[in-house]
Chains A and B, each alone.
Chain A
């Protein structure tokens, strides 16, 4: 697989990346969760970060999102070295993150979730209040613009399906003017159909000009929408590819552990499970 691995050192012709990480590292105590990871995010393109459980994917996006600070390396926003101090600051700089399980507050209505943390006001003085009518209407419209058809924005968001919830979170990020959208395994808990729906919204966000960082451990999903692929393995970069440079098969192979998988195959072939008959399935 090493022949398909091409280290990206400079951004491609698409101009300056919105966001760049250069040799970034992060430790939790003495656990090195990330070492020397570099990636670029360009406007209107999707950067996929792939890796097994524990590879450091979530750590990476928490750094991007301003939830954690990197220990080593450089964090470049619009080419300028930056240190983010909070998720709020990241949001203000146009970086919106949709976390795996932190995306929404389940018992709150869709429209309240949509505007959470950025609620619009109307009226003055003691009559200053949430602009509820605008919030409801804008939520419906923003969802419709993303192609999400939700008849009732008043229902608790927890009653939506997992895919719909992710879609609302994505629509929210797009609406609030995010330039960079970070998605942590948005399809991890979803079925085939719902994954497809979410990936459509990822593409929709990309087409609206956002730079998307898509975290996943599913190479099929990554290859469908990704423009560049960064592979993580136990905290280090195991590869970085452009779309044209790697086939789905190669990506799948690398993701699955490459040689390790073949090794595993041999092991399993030699010791078949005694109780399971091949006809059972």
Chain B
């Protein structure tokens, strides 16, 4: 890069792609070492590559270790387990790409189910009212997280740790206060229950393979998240606020709005999963959900999201969730002590983080 072409005759630059029909400076064909190396570099810069390799590895591993693993019934169980993690993990991944955490996501799922159940039971005869109120309440928690974060500038770790503890207490305390026990009353005989169950907790039998509706929710959410990330303005902003918040603000990106939107996304996904749990069991245990927030974060990290923000993908988080599903159920089918599950996942997480760091370094070194 040496010559500076500056034509005095050129009119002052105007808004938009002014010189679109000017003779196009074709991108100079990359030299001999370029093309193949470039392709390899592109592949290696995909955030989900490490997770994909990991998912194939654990899949093959359990397919060889447990003969029942490859049966359609087992695979549908694996997919179901993956979907219940993946629904929230995809939003957590977007949030992480945007540079923030949400430690309250796990208990928020339970809060969402509790609100829906108890509001329906106490106030109305129709579960859909509870479902709607639950959506508003859950989004309000997300809004609170995002608003407090952007107002105070405190780390999201602290803020959402606060909401995590508060929600944990509220879930147990309010449930005991209202229902008298640690779990809610059954709402199975209420109006609208079967319709709501069809939306949030139905299943379809396909000759041995049971397709749960959560899998469809999961895939749909991943598709939407991918679209948003890669093909919308909001997606550009998410990468930017996570990658360099100040640079983003300086070029006019609405940093606060983007972050608040990401927390609303997590809340929405927590609501979807919360409704699923409610309508598949028709009662809710108020102490559930604690610890799941870390599983969502781990799935996002295994899927290639950078803890420091600015990098990652929705598909990666989905593959991360799939790894969780494969391992948690694979251990059962292999008839191992299920206590190994957490150890296994911790090891996966470390491996993934190391692999991602290594891949990124390589990608950035390839000039």
Contacts and interface: CB of A to CB of B under 8 A. Distances in A.
Contacts of A251: none
B10 A103 contact: no
25 contacts: A65-B250, A87-B251, A99-B247, A107-B306, A108-B243, A108-B310, A116-B253, A117-B248, A129-B231, A130-B231, A130-B236, A141-B17, A144-B25, A145-B19, A148-B1, A151-B28, A154-B42, A155-B41, A164-B1, A176-B15, A178-B13, A179-B12, A203-B4, A209-B12, A209-B13
Contacts of A154: 42
Contact of A138 (B8, B20, B227, B364): B20
A263 interface: no
A259 interface: no
Given A65-B250, A151-B30, A104 B19 contact: no
A117 B251 contact: yes
A105 to B, nearest CB: 4
Interface in B238-274: 239-240, 243-244, 246-253
Given A87-B252, A104-B244, A151-B27, A115 B236 contact: yes
A262 interface: no
Contacts of A151: 27-30, 34
Interface size class of B (residues with CB under 8 A): 35 or more
Given A104-B247, A105-B239, A141 B6 contact: no
A203 B6 contact: yes
A208 B6 contact: yes
A147 B19 CA distance: 15
Contacts of A271: none
A105 B246 CA distance: 9
Contacts, number: 152
Interface of A: 65, 67, 86-88, 91, 97, 99, 102-108, 112, 115-121, 128-130, 132, 134, 137-138, 140-141, 144-156, 158-159, 164, 167, 174-179, 197, 200-201, 203-204, 207-210
Given A145-B5, A159-B367, A201-B4, 4 more contacts: A107-B239, A141-B24, A152-B30, A208-B13
Nearest to B251: A117
Interface of B: 1-6, 8, 10-17, 19-20, 22, 24-25, 27-30, 34, 38, 41-42, 45, 227, 231-233, 235-237, 239-240, 243-244, 246-253, 306, 310-311, 363-364, 366-367
Nearest to B38: A152
A147 B250 CA distance: 25
Contacts of B29: 151
Nearest to A177: B15
Contact of B250 (A99, A156, A164, A174): A99
Nearest to B360: A107
A159 B367 CA distance: 7
Contacts of B24: 137, 141
